[in-house]
């Protein structure tokens, strides 16, 4: 077989076969269940008084076997799925998984994905266990040991000592997972063991240490969501308003001027935000992004996040309240924090933790007055390890 023919087979024919098998399997299974239900209602004597449980169980077992034999596409679908998992390339597997997700969504309206779960009112939530563990955080069945908490605290203290020697203040900010703020929109099938998460415990533990500056905007976000949405319905991230609330809580902890969200004007504006959850669920073409989003009015206009500089972004605001420099080391949640911080800091430099190999070299270059270490809740278990890597690099 030629290479072009093989590519066409992978790209078009096999996904079509998978589509037809999945659809046929679903329809025949539906008919089978309907017929089975009708038989149970038309033959009540099967479960009449005096019939032993073993007899009923045996009857059900035989009925299930007959139903399976009457639906050959079900077995074919299973065989095709197993064959694909064993023999096909990762690219083809992803294509077939996308087809399967779209068919399931078209037929049932439900999201079938190992990374995304459907909530109420069309909201989507992140459930991946390979990128943190947001479901474990929400359910409350994962905990930090005393050793892990102490290890994180010690790492923060050592980082703080190194920065203090350079006359730089350190603040640690944890962004709650979306599930923690919108628990009422989570599906009922996800039962919580405890509403008090391991990150709640960690930030409470850090807040008790008088020498640590810990910022946890969860209570403020829960209050702010009564005004408007603080997270995107179809995305893992907090929105413009959520980022603003987080910034004001950080400024409050820093002893700097802050303006509560209720004192600002918020409005629904046209949105071009590309939501990540439909994409992760292979449903980007089926679930369209919202045409509008909540924004905070009259924040500094910084253009396209300032100037990119050696994998870092530098944003300047000549009209800021101070000429101080803020260095944010965090994840993708830091994006909506830049403009609110630019009201206070004349220069805001931000870098992703994955790009930050040597935090002390960056501090030496940009001379910040304040360093903010930001992380979303699902990464709370990695913060101590990240800091220890920086410390090891700085010791060389």
Measured distance CA(345)–CA(35) in Å, rounded: 69
Q: What is the pLDDT of residue 113?
A: 83
SS3 346: coil
* Whole-structure pTM value: 0.76
Q: What is the pLDDT of residue 1?
A: 53
Dihedral of the CA atoms 55, 61, 62, 65 (nearest 10)?
180
Q: What is the pLDDT of residue 81?
A: 64
Q: How many C-beta neighbours within 10 Å does residue 226 have?
A: 8
Residue 47 has which token pair?
């479960």
**β-pair type (169-175, 370-376):** parallel
pLDDT, tens digit, for every residue of 254-307? 999 999 999 999 999 988 788 889 888 878 766 766 678 999 999 998 755 544
Report the interhelical angle of 359-366 vs 383-394 (nearest 10°).
70
Radius of gyration, alpha carbons of the chain:
27
- Residue burial 363-389, b: 16+ Cβ < 10 Å; e: rest: beebebbbbbbbbbbbbbbebbebbbb
Q: What is the pLDDT of residue 284?
A: 74
Q: DSSP letter string over 99-160?
A: HHHHHHHHHHS----SSEEE-GGG-EEE--SSSS-HHHHHHT-----HHHHHHHHHHHHHHH
Q: How many CA atoms lie within 13 A of 392 on its CB side?
A: 7
Mean pLDDT of the chain, nearest integer = 81
Q: What is the pLDDT of residue 311?
A: 72
Do 232 and 289 meet the contact criterion of CB atoms below 8 Å apart?
no
Do 367 and 337 meet the contact criterion of CB atoms below 8 Å apart?
no
Measured distance CA(340)–CA(349) in Å, rounded: 13
Scanning 170-298, the segments in alpha helix (DSSP H) are 178-181, 198-207, 218-224, 240-254, 276-280
Identify the segments of the chain with pLDDT beneath 50: 6-10, 29, 31, 33-34, 37-53, 55-70, 306-309
Question: Which candidate, 222, 200, 206, 208, places its Cα nearest to that of 171?
Answer: 206
pLDDT, tens digit, for every residue of 326-369? 999 999 999 999 999 999 999 999 999 988 999 999 999 999 99
């Amino acid at each position: 077989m030629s290479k072009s023919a093989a590519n066409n087979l992978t790209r078009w024919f096999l996904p079509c076969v998978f589509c037809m098998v999945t659809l046929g399997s679903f329809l025949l299974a539906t008919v089978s269940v309907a017929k089975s239900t009708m038989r149970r209602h038309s033959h009540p004597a099967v479960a009449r008084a005096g019939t032993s449980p073993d007899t009923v169980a045996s009857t059900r077992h035989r009925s299930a076997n007959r139903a399976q034999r009457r639906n050959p596409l079900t077995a074919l679908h299973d065989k095709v799925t197993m064959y694909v998992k064993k023999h096909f390339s990762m690219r083809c597997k992803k294509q077939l998984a996308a087809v399967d997700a779209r068919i399931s969504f078209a037929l049932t309206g439900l999201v079938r994905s190992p990374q995304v779960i459907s909530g109420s009112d069309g909201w989507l939530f992140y459930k991946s266990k390979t990128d943190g563990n947001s479901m474990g955080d929400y359910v409350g069945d994962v905990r930090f040991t005393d050793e892990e908490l102490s290890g994180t605290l010690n790492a923060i203290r050592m980082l703080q000592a190194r920065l203090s020697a350079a006359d730089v203040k350190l603040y640690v900010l944890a962004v709650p997972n979306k599930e923690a703020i919108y628990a009422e929109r989570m599906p009922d099938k996800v039962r919580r063991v405890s509403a008090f998460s391991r990150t709640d415990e960690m930030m409470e533990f850090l807040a008790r240490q008088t020498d640590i500056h810990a910022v946890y905007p969860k209570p403020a976000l829960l209050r702010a969501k009564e005004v408007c949405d603080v997270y995107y319905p179809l995305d893992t991230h907090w929105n413009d308003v959520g980022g603003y609330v987080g910034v004001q809580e950080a400024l409050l902890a820093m002893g700097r001027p802050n303006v509560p969200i209720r004192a600002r004007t918020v409005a629904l504006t046209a949105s071009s935000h590309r939501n990540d959850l439909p994409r992760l669920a292979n449903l980007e073409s089926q679930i369209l992004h919202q045409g509008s989003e909540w924004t905070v009015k009259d924040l500094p206009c910084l253009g396209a996040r300032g100037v990119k500089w050696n994998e870092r972004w530098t944003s300047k605001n000549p009209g800021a309240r101070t000429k101080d420099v803020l260095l944010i080391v965090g994840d993708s949640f830091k994006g909506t924090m830049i403009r609110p911080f630019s009201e206070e800091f004349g220069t805001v430099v931000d870098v992703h933790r994955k790009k930050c190999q040597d935090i002390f070299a960056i501090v030496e270059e940009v001379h910040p007055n304040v360093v903010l270490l930001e992380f979303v809740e699902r990464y709370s278990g990695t913060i101590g390890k990240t800091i220890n890597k920086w410390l090891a690099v700085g010791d060389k």
